[in-house]
Amino acid sequence: MCSFIYRHPILYNKMLRLIHRKALYRRYRHVADTIGGGKKVFELACGTALIHRFLHNDCKYIGWDLNARFVQHCKDKGINAKERDIFDFNGYPKNDVTIVCDVLHHIFPRDRQLVENALKKTKKLIIVEPYHRAFRIPEFIMKRIESLDDDGINKDPSRYMWNINKCKEFLAHFGDKIVLSTRRIGLDIIAVFDRGVSS
């Protein structure tokens, strides 16, 4: 069942603030600066679209998410969000930059499929993903984290959080050439893929 966090957009935002503290806004600021101005930005699984307020004013934003409450919350704030499945690859809008923030651990084991397809439809892909250091998290703690993080959409029990090694492995799969940079901010790894092609 969907965790209480995913039933209330404001509570979700507050929980994120609590977990990430000041690094939360630093991560969105960093992503917005990496994107720059005048871009068409597409966010996959946008949640409450917290990134939106950090984007340069002349960017055009569209976000997709399957959480109806989150999408309505975005709309109430005048943010262009749609209730759509991020695996509907054929429906992706034209964009310059695609963001996948805090999503891959939700959709595992389809994470690779999402990234492969997103890369085909954008010039630049920015992935932000929480990580833990390369130690084993005890099963009972992992279960607690997973139940709190249950978005009500993805039922696969093998969801995971990236550790540094997993992250490197994952990025290596897409080839060194397209990985522009990786950086850690707070609890997150941020990877920027640059295809350098038109969408």
Ligand X SMILES: C[S@@+](CC[C@H](N)C(=O)[O-])C[C@H]1O[C@@H](n2cnc3c(N)ncnc32)[C@H](O)[C@@H]1O
What is the b/e burial string over 22-45, where b = at least 16 CB atoms within 10 angstroms of the residue's CB? Answer: eebbebbebbbebbeeebbbbbbb
Q: Is position 85 an interface residue for ligand X (rule: CB under 6 A)? A: yes
The residue among 33 and 177 lying less far from ligand X, judged by its C-beta, is 33
| Binding-site member from 20, 52, 73, 106 for ligand X (CB under 6 A) | 106
Mark residues 21-60: x for contact with ligand X by CB under 6 A, - for none: ------------------------xxx--x----------
According to DSSP, the residues that pair with 192 across neighbouring strands are 126, 181
Residue nearest to ligand X (CB): 47
Q: Whole-number minimum distance, CB 196 to ligand X, in Å?
A: 25
Q: Which of 127, 169, 115, 104 is nearest to 30 (CA)?
A: 127
> Which H or E element spans position 139?
helix 139-148
| Distance between CA atoms of residues 13 and 153, nearest Å | 19
Residues in contact with ligand X by the rule CB under 6 A: 45-47, 50, 64-67, 70, 85-87, 101-103, 106-107, 151, 153-154
